Amino acid sequence: MKPSDSVFVEIRGLRYHCRTWGDPAHPKLFLLHGWMDVSASFQFFVDALAGDWHAIAPDWRGYGLTQWSGTDSYWFPDYLADLDRLLAHFSPGAAVDLVGHSMGGNVASLYAGVRPERVARLVNLEGFGLPSAGPGEAPARYARWLAELGEPQRFRDYASFDALAERLCASNARLAPERARFLAQHWGKSLPDGRVTLRSDPAHKRVNPVLYRLEEAEACWRNVAAPVLWVEGAESESLQRLRRDRPSYDARLRCFATLRVHTVPDAGHMLHHDQPHALARIVEDFLRR
């Protein structure tokens, strides 16, 4: 495996952890992980990169080694603001290459429309947005959020890191056991009694009371100036759910002015775990273009 370093920076009042690979003199490649994931999740993808890159992957607030927010809820706009400050720290003034997976892909795509001058090229790995929510859903959503605020949140724990690795394999049949053991060491942390739980703030489990407004996301996407690579896993359940409403799916694609779409065979939603070498070839080919 390619060695990584940990860099800690102060971002909007939080001690942010960023995992970096490669020589800082090389071109920068920012890697943004998804919900309930961590920066180390990109290790297999970075290992497969053929070019010389300075890869920078933050742990989002409340994940991995980054400080928890200390609040009872997490708000999506904070990820945009955190990314803006992270880019100001690592690449002040220069447009950057962004690769985002799932939630990280959604953050990257919105950011590229909000700050189009800051993004040179955008790679969206299964960060396709959510099903549109109607305003009629608001009362029940707010009520659910209020109820969850009164309930302590916690993650289940595991007997050991090996047990956590087995759980990861059970969730993704394509995940090789050795990769699962590596991920477990970064996703999990030891408890005082020797058991293992996830290294994330359980507050992330609370529902977001703010409905997802697809029209707002699409307005941001239409403002993206960078060329975009939209990457799907051929066996992704997330993609299959989204494609059930084919007109909505096609409308999302049409929002991006310069778009390439690529489907990775034998890969699910976690395509950077399932097919890191194939994904690295696709991404580097796009970045070279």
Tokens describing residue 90: 């690592």
**Which secondary structure element, helix H or strand E, spans residue 124, and what is its range?**
strand 119-125
Question: Based on the number of CB atoms within 10 Å of its own CB, is 270 exposed (0-12), middle (13-18) or buried (19 or more)?
Answer: buried
pLDDT in tens, the chain (289 residues): 999 999 999 999 999 999 999 999 999 999 999 999 999 999 999 999 999 999 999 999 999 999 999 999 999 999 999 999 999 999 998 999 999 999 999 999 999 999 999 999 999 999 999 888 999 999 999 999 999 999 999 999 999 999 999 999 999 999 999 999 999 999 999 999 999 999 999 999 999 999 999 999 999 999 999 999 999 999 999 888 888 889 999 999 999 999 999 999 999 999 999 999 999 999 999 999 8
Residue 75 gets which letter from DSSP? -
pTM above 0.75, yes or no: yes
User: Mind listing the domains of the chain with CATH numbers?
Assistant: 4-155+212-288 (3.40.50.1820), 157-199 (no CATH)
Euclidean distance between CA atoms 127 and 100, whole angstroms: 7
Chain CA centroid to CA 72, Å: 21
Cβ atoms of 16 and 9 within 8 Å: the answer is: yes
